[in-house]
Amino acid sequence: MRSPLNKLFLALGLLAIGCGGGGSGATCPTSSTLTYDNFGRQFFATYCDRCHAAGTRPSYRTLAEIRAGSTAIDSVAAAGASAVNVAMPESGATPTEAERRQLGEWLACGVR
Ligand code: HEC
């Protein structure tokens, strides 16, 4: 059973762990009221922008940038049914678990 494919899956698995776990498993309830204006902008301004707007790392200053990075963001900072991901922020002000759940929901609802 030692195929090159097994090695590939092992490598992918380790990579996923190294990046702070898998997706949060958050889902979008039909009743969700979260938007960029009432949630997203403030969340990223408070917890992410001081490190993520400088050019060396992905910037999350606009809706389009957040949408483009949404899978990676979910796996490092959002909470849902499968995981509470806390790899980001690396240091400083940290979102509460409730805020991480809101982030997961907002990403799952399509970043709107
Ligand atoms: C204290 C500085 C700091 C803050 C605050 C911060 N980050 Fe990061 N982030 C980094 C650094 C440094 C890297 C690149 C090195 C690394 O992967 O650890 C990074 C990498 C990332 C990556 C790429 C990870 C990958 O494996 O591709 C994502 C996604 C990310 N951050 C999301 C966020 C989100 C979302 C927030 C806010 C909740 C946030 N970060 C807050 C410093 C920060």
pLDDT of residue 3: 54
Residue 1 Cα to ligand 1 midpoint, Å, equals 37
Instruction: Provide the sign of the torsion angle of the four alpha carbons 34, 27, 50, 66, taken in this order.
Output: negative
Residues of the chain with pLDDT below 70 are 1-21
CB 90 within 8 A of CB 51: yes
pLDDT of 93 reads: 96
CA separation for the pair 33, 105 (Å, rounded):
10
What pLDDT is stored for residue 90 in this prediction? 96
Q: What is the pTM of this model?
A: 0.85
The alpha carbon of 88 and the centre of ligand 1 are apart by a number of angstroms equal to 5
Report the C-alpha gap between 82 and 13 in whole angstroms: 16
**pLDDT of 110:** 97
The ligand 1 site (C-beta within 6 Å) comprises 19, 47-48, 50-52, 57, 69, 72-73, 76-77, 88-92
